[in-house]
Structure 1
Amino acid sequence: MIKWFISSTLIIIALKLYNAVNNIHSQWLSFHYNERLDYFTRLNKRLKAGGILFLGDSLTENFYLSEFFPDHYVINRGVSGDTTYGILCRLKTSVYDIKPNKIFLLIGINDIGNEKSLQYIINNIKLIITEIRKKLPDSKIYIQSIYPVHIDVNNKIKKRIVGKRNNKKINMTNRQLYGLSRKYNVTYINVNKKLKDKKGQLKYQYTQDGLHLSPLGYEIVAKELEKYM
């Protein structure tokens, strides 16, 4: 009876801790999202029209664009934890107010992590494209394929970071993104294939934790994107 009580108590404590951590994480994402938008609003006042805009989540936010592309006027509008819906909600601040010549979009990996349906992801990206086209018809849009993840457990790969993301759903989404790009006359850039190992995972040396890229990973991405700059 005592063992059962202790075991049940430990389970309850573990669940409370798990929910508390998730709640803190959600609050941080909301705070970070709003903080970044406030930052963008202030920065936009200093910008001139006609730059090359990178739009996305943490994979974009962590991309040191000016160092990788010193010969180009590049603008980073990445927000860690962002989703396709989050992008839709911040198009004015992150895109319209900047009036870029080119837009490189990389989004969807967190939707996959949040177990959103493939149709949901594609519909939102379709909306992103069509809304940008309405406001900025002369801006050229490039869709990057969603990057792979590394899921083999070892001392560097963090399962809690990779979460429920998997390469099967990533590949399915990328196939749909390719079809979407053809339908809407948008340039599709298959960066995913440049980052894969023989098992179809994100190469070990290209990642920090299974999801986010290492400096070497960003070098591969920059080399591929340079062709379109």
Structure 2
Amino acid sequence: MKLVCIGDSLTTGYGVSRDVSWISTVKNSLKIDIVNKGINGDTTAGMLSRSFMDVVEKNPTHAFIMGGCNDIMANYSLNMIEDNLYEIIKESLNHNIIPILGIEPPIIGELAVLYWGTDSNYGLINKNQILYRKWIIDICNKISIEYIDFFKLFSIKLKSTTPKNLYIDGVHPSKLGHELMSNLALSRLNKILNL
């Protein structure tokens, strides 16, 4: 069994040391072959352009696919983001690779504005993230593939803690954020992969 993870900085583990990033924790716990192909700042178009080389050619049994945050922050259309993600899913399925989608945590505007500036409309970003999450859940249900909902996880946790505990900058998770992500991912992957 082999799992290749393709995505952006939330897959790479930007902002925390590699050994505490959620994918590293999952890899150490599951003891299966996991390859991290996250690239900081990547978009769904970038992921699509490299998915054959970074996923298909690695010959995995499963592909974890998570992206879209950078597209949404750059104000790209949701239709384009969804089309790119769907093409990555189809490419995996066409090569007998089982896709698992990730839904990225919400962006916290009041914290992100301190680190990333005031150029972005965080209200619109949040609205588009919610619509994108709904689309991912709908497409997964439609074609019977699994997903891991980090958006829901963080939304629930934010009711009992401050954003500064879960994020380093309103976009990227803190060490605690990665710990929560790894716990959810381990729980879901154990079921999905029948471990």
Normalised by the length of structure 2, the TM-score is 0.81
Q: How does 1:130-145 map to 2 (within 5 A)?
A: 130-134=90-94, 136-137=95-96, 139-145=97-103
Q: 1:75-95, CA deviations, whole angstroms, 9 ceiling, x for partnerless residues?
A: 100011111111110012210
% identity of equivalent residues: 25
3-state SS of paired residue (1:193): helix
Q: Please give the alpha-carbon distance, in whole angstroms, between the structure 1 residues aligned to 2:39 and 2:162.
A: 21
Q: Structure with the greater relative contact order (CA < 8 A, sep ≥ 6): 1 or 2? A: 2
- TM-superposed deviation, 1:157: 4.3
Counterpart among 165, 181, 187 of residue 146 in structure 2: 187
Structure 2 unpaired stretches of 5+:
14-20, 191-195
- Alignment of 1:124 onto 2:75: no
* CA separation of 1:157 and 1:90: change in aligned 2, threshold 3 A: same
Counterpart among 71, 75, 83 of residue 115 in structure 1: 75
- Alignment of 1:223 onto 2:183: yes
1:69 is aligned with what amino acid?
Answer: K
* CA separation of 1:68 and 1:132: change in aligned 2, threshold 3 A: closer
The runs of at least 4 aligned residues of structure 1 exceeding 3 Å deviation read 161-165
- Alignment of 1:53 onto 2:13: no
Q: 1:141-194, CA deviations, whole angstroms, 9 ceiling, x for partnerless residues?
A: 11111210112259x941439944532211111001111111222112222111
RMSD: 2.5
Q: Please give the alpha-carbon distance, in whole angstroms, between the structure 2 residues aligned to 1:81 and 1:168.
A: 21
Q: Please give the alpha-carbon distance, in whole angstroms, between the structure 1 residues aligned to 2:24 and 2:91.
A: 27
* CA separation of 1:132 and 1:224: change in aligned 2, threshold 3 A: same
The answer to whether the Cα contact below 8 Å between 2:5 and 2:37 also exists between their aligned partners in 1 is: yes
Which residue in the other structure is 1:208 paired with? 168
The answer to whether the Cα contact below 8 Å between 1:195 and 1:203 also exists between their aligned partners in 2 is: no
Matched positions, count: 176
- TM-superposed deviation, 1:66: 3.1
Q: How does 1:78-117 map to 2 (within 5 A)?
A: 78-117=38-77
Which residue in the other structure is 1:171 paired with? 130
- TM-superposed deviation, 1:208: 0.6
Structure 1 unpaired stretches of 5+:
1-49
Q: Please give the alpha-carbon distance, in whole angstroms, between the structure 1 residues aligned to 2:163 and 2:79.
A: 28
Q: Please give the alpha-carbon distance, in whole angstroms, between the structure 2 residues aligned to 1:187 and 1:64.
A: 18
Q: Please give the alpha-carbon distance, in whole angstroms, between the structure 2 residues aligned to 1:76 and 1:162.
A: 31
The answer to whether the Cα contact below 8 Å between 1:147 and 1:202 also exists between their aligned partners in 2 is: no
Q: Please give the alpha-carbon distance, in whole angstroms, between the structure 1 residues aligned to 2:111 and 2:154.
A: 18
Which residue in the other structure is 1:158 paired with? 115
